[in-house]
Amino acid sequence: MKATAAFLALLLCAGAACAQSYPSRAVKVIVPWPPGQATDIAARMVAQKLQEQMGQAFVADNRPGAGGSLGTAVAVASPADGYTLLAASSGPVSIMPSLQKLPYDPLKDLELIALITRNPYALVVHPDFPARTAKEFVALVKASPDKYTFASSGTGATAHLLTELFNSMAGIQARHIPYKGSAPALTDVINGQVSYMIETVAATVGHIRSGRLKTLGVSTARRAAALPDVPALAEAANLPDYDAAAWIGYAAPAGTPREVIARLSAEIQKALQAPDMKERLLNAGLDPADVAPDQLGAFMRREQERYASVIKSANIKIEP
C-alpha cells in the first residue's frame, strides 16, 4: 500500500515537473491555411502572447492545401509531445470528415486545447431587397420556393452549411450558387445578381457600414461585437435553436501529456483575457470564444454531428 502511494506521488511530482519545465524549446504551430486568413491571424495573435508568457518561441508554420486537411494531417502525424500544435478550425475538423475520406479522425486523433474565437456570420442582402426584417425575409422566401438564390464561398464551405442549416430551420427553399471564395460571392450579392448570403461578419461588416449590403441578423445567439445593433437570427427570425459560427482554436495530437495540455489551456485562457488581445481580436472582426475548457470535448462532438446532419439532409457532395 505504501509502495503504491509512493508511486502515485512520484507520478504526480513528475507531471508537475513536466508542466513547469514545458516548454524547454521552440513550439511549432501548424496553420493549415495561407497567411492572412482568419485562422492564421488568430493563431499568430495567440502564439505571440504564449511566447511572452512562457518564454519560448511559438512559431507559425503555414501548411495550406486541401481545404485545411493537408496541414491538419501533418499535425496529427507529429509527435505527441507538446512541441507541435495545430491551429484548428471548423472546416477541416468539424465539416470535412462528413464530406470526404481523410487520413485522420478529429475526434480520435486530436485534442482541442482551447477555443480562441467563434466567428459570427451575417445574413446579408442587397439594400433594395424588399424584406426589412428577418421575419419578413423568411416569409417572402418561403412563399416562393426556388425563386431566390443564395451564394457561398464554395460547396461544403462553412458558409454553405450555415445557410443550409438556416434554410432548413426556417423551412425555406432556395437555389445554391457556389463561388470560389467569399469575395466574388459577396460582389454578386452587392450587384443584386444573387438574393442573399450568410457570410462572416469580418467579411461583410465593411459593406454593411458603407450601405452596399443590408443585414437582417447574425448567426450566433449573442450579438456580434462588430455589429452590436444587429439582432441574432435566433431572435429576429424566430429560430431559437439557430446558433452557428465558425470556430478557431488550438489543438494537439492525441496522446499529448495531460500536464502539457493543462498548462497550454491555462496559458491560452490567460492570453485571451488580456485587454489588448480582446481588442486585437475584435478589430479583426473575430469574437472571443465563450466555451469553457471542460466543455471542449462535447463541443467537438456536437459540431461534427451538427454538420454531418446538415450535409446528409441537404445531400451535399464534393465533386472528386
Per-residue pLDDT of the chain (320 residues; tens, 9 = 90+): 444 444 334 444 444 555 678 999 999 999 999 998 889 999 999 999 999 999 999 999 999 998 899 999 999 999 999 999 999 999 999 999 999 999 999 999 999 999 999 989 999 999 999 999 999 999 999 999 999 999 998 999 899 999 999 999 999 999 999 998 889 999 999 999 999 999 999 889 999 999 999 999 999 999 998 899 999 999 999 999 999 999 999 999 999 999 999 999 999 999 999 999 989 998 887 888 878 888 999 999 999 999 999 999 999 987 65
Domain 121-236 in this protein, CATH class: alpha beta
Task: Find where cell 492525441 sits.
Answer: 254
Q: Which three cell numbers stand for residue 237?
A: 427570425
Burial environment of residue 294 by CB neighbours within 10 A (0 to 12, 13 to 18, 19 or more):
exposed
Long-range contacts of 297-304 (CB under 8 A, 24+ apart): 297/112, 299/112, 299/115, 300/93, 300/94, 300/106, 300/107, 300/112, 301/107, 303/90, 303/93, 303/94, 303/247, 304/93, 304/94, 304/97, 304/98, 304/106, 304/107
Specify the domain boundaries for CATH 3.40.190.150 within the chain. Answer: 2-118+246-313
CA dist., res. 160 & res. 253, Å (int): 29
Q: What is the CATH number of domain 2-118+246-313?
A: 3.40.190.150
**For residues 117 and 287, what is the distance between their CA atoms, to the nearest angstrom?**
5
Edge-to-edge strand list for the sheet holding 58-62: 58-62, 27-31, 84-89, 246-253, 110-119
pTM for the model: 0.84
Instruction: Outline which parts of the chain fall under CATH 3.40.190.10.
Output: 121-236
